[in-house]
Structure 1
Amino acid sequence: MRSLLSLVVFLFAALVSAVSTTGNRLLVILDTPKDKEAYTTFFRDLSERGYDITYETPKSDDLKLFKYGERTYDHLVFLPTKIKGLGPNLTPNAIVDFINAGGNILLTMSATHKVPVTLVSVLDQLDVTIPAERNGKVVDHFTYDAVSAAETHDTLVLDAPRNVRPGLKDYFEIPGAFISVPHAIGHTLGSGPLLTPLLRAPPTAYSYNPKEQGDTVEPDELFAAGKQLALVSVFQARNSARVTVVGAAEMLQDKAFDTKVTRQGGKAIFPANKEFITNLAGWTFQELGVLRVNKIEHHLKGDNETNPELYRIKNDVTYSISVSEYAWNDWQPFHLPEGDHLQLEFSMLSPFHRISLKPIHVGEDETVYGTDFVLPDQHGIFNFMVNYKRPFLTNVEEKRTVSVRHMAHDEYPRSYVINGAWPGLTGISATIVGFLSFCIVWMYSQPVKSAAGAKKTQ
């Protein structure tokens, strides 16, 4: 009976386990507990997916991101607050340390609230810039919702993201759908390779602060306009921790999921906010785009001994790596996007070989990539290195170190099998044959005898 009960408990725990690969502890920072009522659908969806959600205000004394040097939460969600600073437990350094420790952050803003200076400092370190007043809203007089923003024009109705980064996997594409973006704070991005804009403002949009700017915005007062403004952006650190910046927290609210929007001259339709936010949160909390290396093997071609530590120059070597991709609580075979390559580097200080790996086996939850190649004519300490880093995918950096020795004295090939030695061998052979022929002729040739009885002459 006890074993049966243990089995039931185990199965229940497996069912409610979070789909995130980094954990299920989620901390939500908000002004008051009542604020979460506007996001009921969003948080209910996270709870059903197995997240253990804790709601705290910045003033809470029990709020700590670390305990005994370990993260107390796996994910953070920042909702708009009216507080200028987030207190001693949520300093910029503490939040950056949380990212460095592998934590993921979903940071939302709203033009109805000024962004706390703590989050402004964090965004600066990520090379994300917001208006100096910390609450300028994005306005567009052409792509606004004709019902809810008929006068203010600050609720944008935009096409869903499509082909965000050509040649890469796209987890956010929703063909033919629209996204409602109410009261957004636009931000600009630096040129860092770790930042990717998902949703940009249309060309006719601009950042506007009605409290500090008049009806006419002067060019020198303009923070940014058009495609310079990003509304939703993502950042993936080198340790694969993820930060998502959402310029409009209202995109996550129930009314954004349930209220129809209307473009000028168009029909009223439901926006695809729920699907977009689900994918966005899933990617941020590492439910999507997570790569795992299952196994790495290298060995002499045709040999059964795997992963030896010593090779010889010019050996024929086989290398293989097994990779899986995590998507919504399921490990799947990882398939490269069209035109992309998973490459192996065989390097000492610099690569001697850089080879594209080919899929050699596809299983239920893995794809095995491999190749055969000949080791260089150079002895020393070498690395089998796979360094695969792409936006939207966790980084793969796998290195195996081996020694490559030179040939032993009895391993060099005989001279007669080396084409370059044939002229020398021919000369030596000709010399030997000529010398022996001369010796034979000399030894077996008799001198000419003089005539018998010839008279002496004076």
Structure 2
Amino acid sequence: MKTLFLFTLIIQFTSFIFAKSNSLSGNRILVVLDNIEDKSNYSIFFKSLEDRGFDLSYSSASDDKLELIKFEESLYDHLVLLAPETNYYENDVGPKQIIEFIDKGGNVLLAANENTGSTTQDLLYEFGSVVDEAKFNVIDNFVHNSTTSSVLALDKLEIPISSDELEAPILYSGTAIKFKGKNPYSKPLLVAGPAAYSWDNSAVNKDPLVTGSNIVLVNTLQAVNNARIIITGSTKMFTDEFIESPVKINDKTYEKSGNLDFITNISKWTFQEKKVLKVISSKHHKVGETERPEYYTIKNNMHYEIELSEYNDGIWQPFNATDIQLELIMLDPYIRTTLKQQPITNPTSSTFSIDLIIPDHCGVFTFKVDYRRYGLSWILEKDVIAIHPLHYNEFPRFLGEGLPYYFGAFSMLGGFIIISILALYHEDDTKKNTDTVTSSKKEKEVAATEKKKN
């Protein structure tokens, strides 16, 4: 009996060690439900998270033990909010604390529905979005499952967060989300069709809040600290009923919906199990050298390179791109150039590099790579270094562009020498001039004497 107990303990300890999630942010997930009994409605979704190594904790929004942050530290790494109808969370867990959780690097998967309460509405407002009125569902009379127009069947993503293709349509039943303004960090992932609108069971007697492809069904948001948020207007798309439900569109029938694949994909992205970039190293130096200099001199030839790696499903692999740019900035960019990817020699990373000439301007410059692309975590790598002017002994003695000035200076010098020589060595006939002056004086004296005699 003791041997069996010890063997069981070893098995449990081993499974605890090796059951590690692929998330780079951690494996602690808090699931908040309207009622704890609703847990059984999402059993397939929750089991898929546990199979990926996540440690799930469940709580109802009204549980007095509900805590998200304690002693300025997050108690969880990820947050799944499936409690849209609750108007009040216990222990001051609300929009302000959830935003603080995101600021600390936490990831959030948020679901609303046609009966969204004030807490979820306030949180959506923080993300720049609003939901339609209560009891209003997204309806599409052309793209829906079988004969139920309020259950949409969508087989196309607006902007995929990965190259994954949908093998079966996604079933969606819920409210419409409208985003106010243009948030550069927010992108719609799944939108309604052109004939969709949001309304309740009554007759349409006014313009709906939003129609067509302006209805956002699933939206992605990535904060400046790389925390990720998924927002959707349907809790039903996560339920076992929608995951197991067959789909019929026109004459085409699917045994199961594509909901499980879809929510698995978006949850992997949200919990940072995929599309995560990391800077392995970055360096710059003069061409022909290997060490970073203390400073550069204007017009030096410089080599810059950065090594990046991409994380997907537990594997670090080389990152391929053609749009990574390097900027040399002093207040404004003096140089902005695209880095070239080098042949891959490392199975886990790739190198991007460029050779360029330092700007002909001295000062303190920032060498910056700021790469922000949808679906990928953002990278920011920068280094500050001074650029000096040329030393007195580094200037060229003669410049071809200065030939006109050289000619003007030397011509002036030559003219001055010639004039000086003429002035120094030119001699006048002074004797002839003296005789001429004397004779003219005598003629004047004779003329004066004759005038007196007369």
What band does the TM-score fall into relative to the shorter chain?
A: 0.7 to 0.9
TM-score, L = length of structure 1: 0.83
Once the two structures are TM-superposed, the CA of residue 92 in structure 1 deviates from its matched residue by 1.3
Q: Indicate the SS of the match to 2:320.
A: coil
Match of 1:207 in 2: 198
Q: Indicate the SS of the match to 2:386.
A: strand
Within the candidate set 154, 158, 182, 1:158 is matched to 154
Once the two structures are TM-superposed, the CA of residue 435 in structure 1 deviates from its matched residue by 10
Once the two structures are TM-superposed, the CA of residue 173 in structure 1 deviates from its matched residue by 4.0
- For the pair 1:367 / 2:350, whether they are aligned, the reply is yes
Q: Label 1:61 to 1:267 Cα distance change in 2 as closer, same or farther (>3 A).
A: closer
Once the two structures are TM-superposed, the CA of residue 119 in structure 1 deviates from its matched residue by 1.2
CA offsets 1:324-348 (integer angstroms, 9 cap, x no match)? 1111111111112xxx511100011
> One-letter code of the match for 2:32?
I
Match of 2:402 in 1: 421
Gaps of 5+ in 2: 1-10, 421-454
Once the two structures are TM-superposed, the CA of residue 68 in structure 1 deviates from its matched residue by 1.6
Match of 2:326 in 1: 344
Once the two structures are TM-superposed, the CA of residue 14 in structure 1 deviates from its matched residue by 5.9
Note if contact 2:166-2:262 (Cα within 8 Å) is conserved in structure 1. no
User: Which residues in structure 2 correspond to 1:3-402 (within 5 Å)?
Assistant: 15-80=18-83, 82-111=85-114, 114-133=115-134, 135-146=135-146, 150=147, 152-161=148-157, 164-165=158-159, 170-171=161-162, 173-175=164-166, 177-181=168-172, 183-190=173-180, 191-210=182-201, 214=202, 216-220=203-207, 222-306=208-292, 308-336=293-321, 341-362=323-344, 363-402=346-385
Q: Indicate the SS of the match to 1:55.
A: strand
Note if contact 2:88-2:119 (Cα within 8 Å) is conserved in structure 1. yes
Q: Label 1:53 to 1:154 Cα distance change in 2 as closer, same or farther (>3 A).
A: same
Match of 2:441 in 1: none
TM-score, L = length of structure 2: 0.84
> One-letter code of the match for 2:277?
L
C-alpha separation between the residues in 2 aligned to 1:402 and 1:11? 50
Note if contact 2:362-2:389 (Cα within 8 Å) is conserved in structure 1. yes
Note if contact 1:361-1:369 (Cα within 8 Å) is conserved in structure 2. no
Q: Kindly name which structure, 1 or 2, has the bigger radius of gyration based on alpha carbons.
A: 2
Note if contact 1:382-1:402 (Cα within 8 Å) is conserved in structure 2. yes
- For the pair 1:408 / 2:409, whether they are aligned, the reply is no
> One-letter code of the match for 2:363?
G
Match of 1:5 in 2: none
> One-letter code of the match for 2:367?
F
Note if contact 1:317-1:373 (Cα within 8 Å) is conserved in structure 2. yes
Match of 1:451 in 2: none
Q: Label 1:159 to 1:435 Cα distance change in 2 as closer, same or farther (>3 A).
A: same
Note if contact 1:86-1:116 (Cα within 8 Å) is conserved in structure 2. no
C-alpha separation between the residues in 2 aligned to 1:16 and 1:268? 33
Q: Indicate the SS of the match to 1:156.
A: strand
C-alpha separation between the residues in 2 aligned to 1:229 and 1:429? 79
CA offsets 1:296-351 (integer angstroms, 9 cap, x no match)? 10101111213x33111111111111111111111111112xxx511100011000
CA offsets 1:84-130 (integer angstroms, 9 cap, x no match)? 2223432111111111111111011233xx21211101101111110
Of residues 342-351 and 390-399 in structure 1, the stretch that sits farther from structure 2 once superposed is 390-399
Provide the aligned C-alpha RMSD in A: 2.8
Once the two structures are TM-superposed, the CA of residue 274 in structure 1 deviates from its matched residue by 1.2
Q: Label 1:139 to 1:438 Cα distance change in 2 as closer, same or farther (>3 A).
A: closer
> One-letter code of the match for 2:92?
N
Percent of aligned pairs with the same amino acid: 33
Of residues 124-133 and 170-179 in structure 1, the stretch that sits farther from structure 2 once superposed is 170-179
CA offsets 1:262-303 (integer angstroms, 9 cap, x no match)? 123333442211111111100111112111111010101111
Q: Indicate the SS of the match to 1:281.
A: helix
Once the two structures are TM-superposed, the CA of residue 387 in structure 1 deviates from its matched residue by 1.1
Name the structure where helix makes up a greater proportion of residues: 2
C-alpha separation between the residues in 1 aligned to 2:55 and 2:149? 38
Once the two structures are TM-superposed, the CA of residue 176 in structure 1 deviates from its matched residue by 5.6
Q: Label 1:386 to 1:394 Cα distance change in 2 as closer, same or farther (>3 A).
A: same
Match of 1:450 in 2: none
Gaps of 5+ in 1: 1-7, 440-458
Task: Report how many residues are paired.
Answer: 412
Note if contact 2:167-2:258 (Cα within 8 Å) is conserved in structure 1. no
C-alpha separation between the residues in 2 aligned to 1:89 and 1:386? 40
Q: Label 1:317 to 1:394 Cα distance change in 2 as closer, same or farther (>3 A).
A: same
CA offsets 1:120-178 (integer angstroms, 9 cap, x no match)? 01101111110133x421122222222xxx3x5211111131xx34xxx7416415631
> One-letter code of the match for 1:400?
D
Q: Indicate the SS of the match to 1:397.
A: strand
C-alpha separation between the residues in 2 aligned to 1:126 and 1:401? 34
Q: Indicate the SS of the match to 1:153.
A: strand
Q: Label 1:332 to 1:255 Cα distance change in 2 as closer, same or farther (>3 A).
A: same
